[in-house]
Amino acid sequence: MTMRARFAPSPTGYLHIGGARTALYSWLYARKHGGKFILRIEDTDRERSSTESVNAILEGMTWLGLEYDEGPFYQTDRFDRYKEVIQTLLDEGKAYKCYCSREELDVLREQQMANKEKPRYNGLCRDGAEPREGIEPVIRFRNPPEGGVVIDDMIKGRVVIQNSELDDLIIARGDGSPTYNLTVVVDDLDMGITHVVRGDDHLNNTPRQINILRAMGAEPPRYAHVPMILGEDGKRLSKRHGAVSVMSYRDQGLLPEALINYLVRLGWSHGDQEMFSLEELIELFDVADVNRAASTFNPDKLLWINQQYIINSDPEHVLHHLSFHLGNIDLDPTEGPDIIEVIKAQRERAKTLVELAKICEFYYRDFSTFPEKAAKKAFKGDAGLILANIRDKLAALSEWNRGAIHGQMEAVVAEMEIGFGKIGMPLRLAVTGGNPSPDLDLTIELVGREATLRRIDQAIARINQ
Ligand code: GLU
C-alpha cells in the first residue's frame, strides 16, 4: 500500500510558519516513502474562509516548493458526500437527532461549570427525542459509552482517552451543514490517507475522529501530532512576534530553502548538523524523530541560515530569487556588469536578499550623496589630489581588469609616497558611495570605467566644495 499524507489547512488567513512546518513534515514524510502528498482545503466555515486565503496558502506552498500530488480538494465541493455519510450514520443508529435548545444547553453548561464538572452534553436525546416545534435538530454522533481510545501517536507516543471523557459530538448543525470533525474523518477515509501529520492543537479531536471512523467500519490512519512553535517569550508564536506569514519571509529576503532548512530543524535534528539539502532531508527526516516538546522560534538563527544559503548556493539560483527584490527597487541588471559576478562579489555581505539587492545597486546606478561621517573621514587632507591622480591613471588604462587597476593604485601609492589606506579610503567611498564592497580593484572592475571616472569626478567636486 502506498502511504498517503496530507496537508489540510483552513483558508482563514495566510500560510504561517507553523502551518508551513506541519506541511513540510507531512511532505517530507511522503517523499521519503515514495508516497503521495495531498492538499485539502478545509473551507466549510464559509464566514471565515476566503479565496484570498486559499491563494495565499497556495502561493506559500509553491514558493516553498511543497508541490502536491493530488488536489487541492475543497470541502465545500463535498457536501453531498458528507450528507450521505450523516444519513447512513443516522440510519444505522450511530447518530441521532438532538432537539435540545441552545438555552437548555447553556443552562446545562452553567450548572456543570458551577459544579466544577467538565462541560459536556448530557445525552438527553440519545434514546429518542420527540421533534419540537421551531427547533431544527442537530445531529450527534453516538459516542461509545465505554472503553477507551488508544492513539499510537508517532510523535507523542501512546495516548489513551476514556470514552467516558467524550460526549456525543455534533456532526451536523441545525441547517444540515456538517461540522469539522465529520468532514475531516470522511475526507481522510475517502482520500485514503494513511498518515495524518497535523498540529497538536488537534490532539483532542483525534479520539472523536477515531470513534467516528470506526463507526463507519474503517481503521484509523497513523497520527503524528506536531508540537507548536513558541516565540522567544514562551508564548505561542503569533503576529506579536513579528512576521509569521511565509510570504512575508519572501518579502524580507529569505531563500525558500533557507526557510525550509530552518523550519525542519525547528523541532527535529540529526546529530548537530545544521544545513541540509532537500535530498538529505528526504533521506534523513523521520516524523517519529520530531521533538515531543514545543520549539522556540529564533529569528537570528533563521537569518544566519539564510546567509549560509546566500553564500553557498549557485549564484544563478540566488539570482532567480533576487530578481524579485531587484524589481522592488526598480533595478534592471541587464545593463551594466554581469549580475552573477556582482552576486559573487557581494554575497558574503548580506543576510537577506533585500540587503543583497541593496548592495548590488551601486554597481548599476550612480548616487549623488555620501554618508556624512564617512565623507568627513575619507575626503580630507590630500584626498582630492590622490583621487585626481588615480583618475588619470585609470583613464589611461588600455585594459580594464582588477590586476591592471591594482597596478595603477600601487603606482599612485609609490609616486605620492603614501600608505595604501590614503588612496583606498577616499577611492572606495567615491566609487561605492559607502556601500559594503569587496576588494577595491574588483569593485572598480565591476563598476566599470565610465562610472568609476564619473564618480571620482563627483567626489573631487564634493571635496572642492
Ligand atoms: N483544517 C485544520 C486546521 O487548519 C487542520 C485539520 C487537520 O489537519 O486534521 O487547523
Torsion of CA 270, 276, 282, 285, to 10 degrees: 20
pLDDT-derived band at 19, boundaries 50, 70, 90: very high
DSSP characters for 408-438?
A: HHHHHHHHHT--HHHHHHHHHHHHHTT---S
Q: What's the mean pLDDT in 16-40? A: 97
User: Does the CB atom of residue 42 touch ligand 1 within 6 A?
Assistant: yes
Q: What's the mean pLDDT in 117-133? A: 90
Q: Pull the grid cell for residue 187.
A: 475526507
Query: Cβ-count burial of 169 within 10 angstroms (0-12 exposed, 13-18 middle, 19+ buried)?
Result: buried
Which H or E run contains 405? helix 402-416
For residue 36, the cross-strand partners are 4
Q: What is the second-level CATH architecture of the domain 78-226?
A: 3-Layer(aba) Sandwich (3.40)
Rounded Cα–Cα distance for residues 201 and 294 (Å): 12
Q: What's the mean pLDDT in 2-22? A: 96
> 47 CA distance to ligand 1 centroid (A)?
17
Place of cell 453531498: 80
pLDDT-derived band at 91, boundaries 50, 70, 90: very high
Mean pLDDT of the chain: 96
> 276 CA distance to ligand 1 centroid (A)?
28
Which residues, other chains included, contact 80 with Cβ-Cβ below 8 Å and sequence gap of 6+? Answer: none
Percent of the chain with pLDDT over 70: 100
**What three-state secondary structure class fits 149?**
strand
Fold: same for 78-226 and 372-464: no
Q: Give the residue from 57, 46, 51 showing the smallest Cα distance to 8.
A: 57
Q: Per-residue pLDDT tens for 399-428?
A: 999 999 999 999 999 999 999 999 999 999
The dihedrals phi and psi of 173, each to the nearest 5 degrees, come to -80, 175
> 11 CA distance to ligand 1 centroid (A)?
10
4-72+228-297 carries CATH number 3.40.50.620: yes
pLDDT-derived band at 187, boundaries 50, 70, 90: very high
Rounded Cα–Cα distance for residues 377 and 380 (Å): 6
Residue from 94, 118, 156, 239 carrying the catalytic annotation? 239
Q: Per-residue pLDDT tens for 160-180?
A: 999 999 999 999 999 999 999
Q: How many CB atoms lie under 10 A from the CB of residue 87?
A: 13
Rounded Cα–Cα distance for residues 142 and 123 (Å): 9
pLDDT-derived band at 9, boundaries 50, 70, 90: very high
Does the annotation mark 376 as catalytic? no
The best mutation among 4, 6, 10 to test binding of ligand 1, ranked by most ligand atoms within 8 Å of the C-beta, falls on 10
DSSP strands (E only) in 154-245: 157-162, 170-172, 195-199, 222-226, 229-230
Q: Per-residue pLDDT tens for 280-324?
A: 999 999 999 999 999 999 999 999 999 999 999 999 999 999 999
All structural domains of the chain with their residue ranges: 4-72+228-297, 78-226, 313-363, 372-464
372-464 carries CATH number 1.10.10.350: yes
